[in-house]
Amino acid sequence: MAEHHQDRPVGAAIPQRNRRHGAGGCAQGRRPAAGGRDETDSGDDPGPRRSLDEPGSGPRPGCPVLRRAPGRDHPRGSVCHRVLPGPSLGTPRSPAGEPRPPQPRMKPDRPGKDLYRRLRALPWPALWDEEVARFNQATNAERFDTVSVVRAVGVVFSESGPAGLRERVREWLLGLLDDPQEKIRRYALAALPKIGIGPREESELLRRLETATRPGEAAALREVLARVGGTRTYEAMQASGGFTANEVQRVTASVARREAPTTLRLDANLPGWEGMRIHLRGRAGLEGFVRDEVEERGGFRVLETTPGLVALTPTRPFALADLFQLRCFATAGVVLGRVAPQPEPAAIEGLATTIASPHSQQLFRELTNGTIRYRLDFMGRGHARATVRKVVERAFEIAPAILNDAREAPWAVDVHPMTDGESVELRPRSSLDPRRAHRLGDVPAASHPPLAACLARAAGRRDQEEAWDPFCGSGQELIERALLGGVRRLHGTDLSPEAVDVAKRNFTAAGIPGVEARFTCCDFRRYAGLHRIPEGSLTLVITNPPLGRRVRVPGLRGLFDDLFATAARMLRPEGRLVLTNPFRMESPERSLQLESRRTVDLGGFDCRLEVYRKAPARPR
């Protein structure tokens, strides 16, 4: 029986309590929404709405199921529903009435990708002798389904296989360009650049480009030639045209790369140095070491210091070689300009005009021997391929002598996000960093070179130093400490024979005179006994030990306890222990007193760079 409201005028809204049948209930003639609300309810939404088809969102037992009448269109929120018989759409239950566990969502079958992964893992003899032979004998339908064989051949033979067989692989891929199936031709065309092409293959691709009738096929051929084409492609491009500006730029850069290697003039003074802004970047937490090193050497004034960045301006003419005398930063970039936040077309124009500005062109010319080539990167944006393409095409239109080359360019132009826009910075590529000339080899999970330099600076300089790195890796910490001077003898230990060999070669290449060095493959806890090194004879223990991130280390906490105990035993009074520590712990050895601690970002996780000093000897 309906409830009567004596004081409610006719047509007034029904009070809220009469529009519901309890939380999650059903009102006759209305479809309940999630949380027990009518769709016409005007109150605040208590949460996301769910469909009646979702588990747990159906009507309560005993409520009729409301369904739209078939064959009619009803606007959302209408009340044109009729009650139809049907099961409840609530939580799925077993025949015994118990809730069923949620069923896992199955990934769709991807037979092509699964086949490629299997083929990619095969050794090259099995791939060529078995899978390629089977592909060649297959029907057209079977070849279509197993076209991943072509892709796998391109990848596997780019990494392995005898040189003589690669010629046969090229012949096979060229033959597939005549296959009647477009997909197979496309896969073969994509695989060819991975194997590499010679003048004969290049001429064949150019011939096919001249006779191509389908726009898609011609575009694919131009793309391949832009990636791996040489002098013949360049000549054909000049004679016939038809290539896009981006393809012209890539072919020109490829020819320049092969014919005239580009080098940097590190000793040339930078033009327009007055008022120039330079950004030294590195790990957040190490900027204090960078700032101190800059102020100690002179020639530059620090403008600002923020996490991972020290901004400088020169106080006198300088060369890039002067910057590379500093060892605690990772990369150095000359700021070409800043681009304010704006819509994409204007932002692309701003970036391109900054890269190709007269000042930028002058810097490129004065500091480069050979063709000017650079790689554009947006830091923190991922690949951003579409934006990169638009920017470099526009920059090429403005300054055709400056070529974008994503493969082996000596310069990088980095675009860094800043609070007031984007900073465009010209940087020598890391492969040309003269500070790394002694690094003939490396090992997995080795120290980042600037971190090793910062550990050495944290240790400080002491004459007649005798230092030990219990986990020497590639030897960077010991080399950096020796470069500061005052070292008499170095000890390095590691469990890896490969690491010990690499450390020996790197130390020899560093060419540090007057320093005796011994590298031993052993557990650090046994080193002193093996070589009869007296306890209390070392002045420094410096190390970046295993941190358990890139390489899992069982019992890592116990390893650090042993490291502290061994250092306390081997150090002289007032000797130092300098290390990176992933734990929030101090030395359990009372003789080691914490002197300083800095938190450093080591690539996604915080670690502590700590300095301990052994207590002075007690007077007798």
Note the pLDDT of residue 79: 40
Pick the CATH number of 112-262 from 1.25.10, 2.40.128, 3.90.1150, 3.40.50: 1.25.10
For the 278-434 domain, the top CATH level (class) is alpha beta
Q: CA 510 to CA 495: how far, in whole Å?
A: 23
Q: Where are the domains of the chain?
A: 112-262, 278-434, 437-614
Least confident of 97-101, 166-170, 600-604, 612-616: 97-101
* CB-based contact 342:350 (threshold 8 Å): yes
* CB-based contact 464:485 (threshold 8 Å): no
Question: For 500, phi and psi rounded to 5 degrees?
Answer: -60, -40
What does the DSSP 8-state code read for residue 269? B
Least confident of 19-23, 464-468, 606-610: 19-23
* CB-based contact 251:299 (threshold 8 Å): no
pTM above 0.85, yes or no: no
Q: Per-residue pLDDT tens for 184-207?
A: 999 999 999 898 888 888 888 998
Q: Which residue has the higher pLDDT, 80 or 529?
A: 529
Note the pLDDT of residue 380: 83
Determine the average pLDDT of the residues in 384-413.
93
Q: Average per-residue pLDDT in the chain? A: 84
The order of strands in the sheet holding 278-281 is 300-306, 309-314, 278-281, 331-339, 421-428, 411-418, 372-378, 402-404
CA angle 436, 466, 548 (to 5 degrees): 60
For the 437-614 domain, the top CATH level (class) is alpha beta
